[in-house]
């Protein structure tokens, strides 16, 4: 059975995808730890990140860095954190989280009902930042 991420990538379920290339997508998390929290997800379903092909793993980190730079530019957090947890969905995904403190990495504090208009605005802001950074060919608009 396809993971929820595979179904989003295939367009079966809506998602706020801001980046797409031949190997991965990046999208806003629907239960953000902090405004602008994104996930970088390989198109290939791999449950545990240690099972990723090393080249794909490197690509995911490179994309996460681009997303983090866009978050820094558009949201101006104190830091941008990068984390791989792997418990929520059995499909590898990197959390790229704008942070003002370590408390912003506490999954028990995730927002279960974020403002949809705010999510849409943040997605658009990140798309604009990525385009300004020269990554327009990978920016995915809804």
At 142 the pLDDT is 67
Output the pLDDT for position 7. 95
What's the pLDDT tens digit per position in 57-68?
A: 999 999 999 999
Could you tell me the end-to-end alpha-carbon distance of the chain, in angstroms, rounded to an integer? 25
Task: Quick: pLDDT tens for 4-31.
Answer: 999 999 999 999 999 999 999 999 999 9
Per this entry, what is the length of the chain?
142
Per the annotation, the verdict on 93 as an active-site residue is yes
- Average pLDDT for 94-100: 97
Residue 78 — φ and ψ, nearest 5°? -65, -40
pTM of the model: 0.96
Q: Which of 34, 59, 91, 93 is catalytic?
A: 93
Q: Which tokens hold the place of 12? A: 């079966």
Q: What is the mean pLDDT of residues 101-129?
A: 95
SS (H, E, C) 64-109: HHHHHHHHHHHHCCCEEEEECCCCCCCCCCEEEEEECCHHHHCHHH
Which residue, among 14, 70, 64, 65, has the nearest Cα to 41 in the 3D structure?
64
What domains does the chain contain, in order, with CATH numbers?
Answer: 4-134 (3.30.428.10)
CA atoms within 13 A of residue 134's CA, in its CB half-sphere: 0
125 pLDDT tier (thresholds 50, 70, 90): very high
């Amino acid at each position: 059975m396809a993971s929820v991420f595979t179904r989003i990538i295939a367009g079966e379920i809506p998602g706020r995808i801001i980046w797409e290339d031949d190997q991965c997508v990046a999208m806003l998390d629907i239960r953000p730890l902090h405004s602008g929290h994104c996930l970088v997800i390989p198109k290939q379903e791999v449950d545990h990140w240690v099972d990723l092909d090393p080249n794909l793993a490197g690509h995911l980190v490179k994309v996460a860095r681009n997303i983090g730079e866009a978050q820094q530019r558009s949201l101006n957090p104190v830091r941008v954190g990068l984390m791989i947890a792997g418990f929520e969905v059995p499909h590898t995904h990197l959390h790229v989280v704008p942070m003002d403190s370590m408390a912003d990495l506490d999954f028990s504090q995730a927002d279960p009902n974020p403002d949809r208009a705010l999510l849409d605005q943040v997605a658009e802001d990140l798309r604009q930042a990525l385009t300004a950074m020269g990554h327009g060919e990978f920016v995915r608009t809804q």
